Structure 1
């Protein structure tokens, strides 16, 4: 912890000396005098300094890591190109990398996140597109706008197949989107990728617990619909903001789903292969209200029901510093915890944006809190993860933002009766500096 404190002090000193960035305007090449046709460029880098209380038995390349670890990483590095070529033709691509830390493979890792083309049949009301796309159903933050996250990181349980049958939610697919009156909709047909780590498509399940089937993947159908009670928002991109910093007066209700036939398999009582569909349902609310010209409150909540088959549970550690553990545990190594599984989840986040008068011309503070409460069928006890943090914004989300967060997460142990029971809580401190243009 002393090492982390020294690194934190050094990072703060460097940041305070450079935070007064100039006001930002889009980096754009106009293709028409009116500016309605353009090519636009943007980029983002999120650097993490982190101190983690590790899960029991965490290892790195077979060596014990002890009880805690401090590290640096790139949480996200992205470059985007948007091109509105005509009043109907739109092009978008995004290139970058996630979770580059000290144990990442050298000289590799960056890839195309998105590569889509789109045609507006009825401008604003109906556009059709396709490619490698982040358009997804289920809920608002299933496709989060990473440059405008309110909490330090996104609610990853809304990306249940992340890294297994997709690339950070992206899949090859076709989509329809539009806005009709106060209704915003997206409908997607996507082709899941083959299961990561699957030896081949002729292997068979080995237990009665449902896991991803190593069969030829069938198409996913997805949709998400939201209703604007107050201000609307753009659907040019699939990614949705976590906060507008008081620039909008928002109240949205949304609902969505993801469905894939035969996505999971297990052995039945007779030892035969049993297939099971994946059905994910989400219902959410997004609220943001300016209290005056300088302050605002933001609130988001979502309820999900996941049916991924009997006993399915998945633990995940973001940007995990550990590579393995001394024995199998349901929480996983490093900073992992059970995040996705068959069952129900309630998630909420809230934040308050202070005005300029609190810090003079130095920027704005936005404290926030978030929590995920899940009742997974594979766990005997509820799963509760919580986060408390603070954003310091000098140029809004897009420009310079410094964030500090503490996350508390549960660990579980398997008892003699085979039940996965709550064991203890571990903590993680993260400081993030985000610069975007």
Structure 2
């Protein structure tokens, strides 16, 4: 079936469900946002539709040597779609749950035209015990490691979750989602998820390693094993989907301590001093703490801190420029081009973020202001100077929630150069982003 025909059918189905949902009785009102169509009298079986759009207006100070379409560029302003998502939830029986998410990320002026939307999630889940144990399989974000290895994109505190926690994003998975079988549940206050994953083929990987620094192997992959466990000291969080809330805006009192891992045998390769191929396991560990609570009837505090230890093999580092406005560079750059910086690598990372929600009726009826700050400190063995990235900004919640939200953020990152065989900091660059989000 051609993509345009698929999209037409999907749109017609979406509209038909919307119309039927509007005719439902009082019992069939939307649950926690979205549009809900009940499949039985008490609403325990249902189909729910939701959507999200995030638009960016941005100015980026480019890394040294950056080019756009071959032209060297020091600074550039652009308009882009950071995220566009549509979700379908379906509780088709007391035991069976279906979930899928379709959309696009990072659509900017040099993205391929007429292309780019894809399935983020497509899973089927069976509940042995609705609370304690469910099994599922498919393309899914049920992943290990840390809280924001699977973030809820509609409730992020900053403009982006700590993306370094999505350690293999776009390498051997599909935008953090993985082909997995998984188990998840809540045993009292302990929330757990474990998964066995089939890594995807490394796009564009060479037939053999090209140097002594480790990179992802293109050999037939061993399965990944991963898990994340959190102890909920206060209110419980939902585990309907894998995606973890960034801020509850004072609607919950949550205090969690978590830890997780991802392991893949022989995931990495490199050449030794004799030019022979050697393999190394990928071993990732993480610990974190999340605290979110109302302080008064109108104010709230959100705070998060994490520690990770990544072992991809000696010398592995990955430069990431989210929604990068640049297309290349005029020479090798240690920290990447455009707005990129060494986000992921072998070594240790400490991350923290915090936000404070002020009272209602700021600027508009029900309007709320939420300033925030975030910091990533990484000590990677590839770099001789530590990597420090920080973000400052604020969310303006126009009606007091995430449904209509205007956000501003300034990000400061280091750039690197190689001097005398050492990768050291050259200077710092900034990126300013204005985002408008609508979700339902």
Mapping for residues 123-138 of structure 1, pairs under 5 Å? 123-138=130-145
Alignment match of 1:30 (pick from 34, 38, 60): 38
Note if contact 2:87-2:101 (Cα within 8 Å) is conserved in structure 1. yes
CA distance in 1, matches of 2:403, 2:155: 11
Once residues 313 and 360 of structure 1 are traced to their aligned partners in structure 2, the CA distance between those partners, rounded to angstroms, is: 45
Check the 8 A contact 1:39/1:81 in 2, yes or no: yes
Question: What is the deviation of 1:60?
Answer: 1.9
Q: Matches of 1:107 and 1:225 in 2, distance apart?
A: 41
Kept after mapping to 2: 8 A contact 1:264/1:309: yes
What secondary structure does 1:403 align onto? Answer: strand
**Among 399, 406, 414, which residue is 2:403 paired with?**
399
> Which residue, out of 116, 127, 132, partners 1:109?
116
Q: Is the Cα contact below 8 Å between 2:317 and 2:346 reproduced in 1?
A: yes
Provide, for residues 381-437 of structure 1, a one-character-per-residue CA deviation record: whole Å limited to 9, x for no partner. 110000000000123444100000000000000012x11001100000000000011
Would you say 1:61 and 2:65 are equivalent positions?
Answer: no
Q: Alpha-carbon deviations, 1:315-345, whole Å to 9, x = none?
A: 0100001111011111111000000000000
Change in CA separation of 1:369 and 1:85 when aligned onto 2, cut-off 3 Å:
same
Query: What is the rounded CA distance, in whole Å, between the counterparts of 1:36 and 1:50 in structure 2?
Result: 43
How many residue pairs align between the two structures?
A: 410
1:428 to 426, 431, 434: 431
- Alpha-carbon distance between aligned partners in 1 of 2:398 and 2:68, rounded to the nearest angstrom: 38
For residues 210 and 408 of structure 1, the distance between their equivalents in structure 2, rounded to whole angstroms, comes to 28
Aligned to 1:100: 107
Counterpart of 1:308?
312
Which of 222, 225, 230 does residue 221 from structure 1 map onto?
Answer: 225
Check whether the contact 1:148–1:397 (CA below 8 A) recurs between aligned residues: no
Counterpart among 79, 82, 91 of residue 72 in structure 1: 79
Match of 1:45 in 2: 53
Using structure 1 for the length normalisation, give the TM-score: 0.92
Q: Which residue of 2 aligns with 1:18?
A: none
Q: What RMSD, in angstroms, separates the aligned Cα atoms of the two structures?
A: 1.2
1:213-240 per-residue CA deviation (whole Å, 9 max, x = no partner) reads 1111110000000001110110000000
* TM-score, L = length of structure 2: 0.92
- Is 1:369 aligned with 2:373? yes
Give the 4+ runs in structure 1 shifted more than 4 A: none
Question: Any conservation in 2 of the 1:276–1:308 contact (CA below 8 Å)?
Answer: yes
Say if 1:145 and 1:240, in contact at 8 Å, map to a contact too: yes
Tell me the residue number matched to 1:413.
417
SS in 2 for 1:207: coil
What residue number does 1:285 align with? 289
- Contact preservation (8 Å) 1:280, 1:306: yes
Change (3 A) 1:228 1:84: same
Residues 17-416 of structure 1: matches in 2 within 5 Å? Answer: 25-64=33-72, 66-199=73-206, 203-359=207-363, 361-416=365-420
Partner SS, residue 356 of structure 1: coil
- In the TM superposition, what is the alpha-carbon distance from 1:357 to its structure 2 partner? 4.7
8 Å CA contact 2:141, 2:243 repeated in 1 = yes
On the 8 A contact 1:147/1:397 being kept in 2, the answer is: no
**1:277-305 alpha-carbon deviations (Å, 9 max, x no partner):** 10010000000121111100000010000
1:12 equivalent in structure 2: none
Deviation at 1:350, TM superposition (A): 0.1
Give the Cα separation in 1 of the matches to 2:353 and 2:437. Answer: 20
> Unaligned regions of 5+ residues in structure 2, if any?
1-31
Give CA-to-partner distance per residue, 1:113-133, whole Å, 9 cap, x none. 100000001111000000011
Q: CA deviation at 1:197?
A: 1.1
Question: SS at 1:252's partner residue?
Answer: strand
Shift of 1:61: 2.6
Query: Which SS does the other structure have where 2:384 is aligned?
Result: coil
Secondary structure of 1:276's partner? strand
Determine helix, strand or coil for the equivalent of 1:135: coil
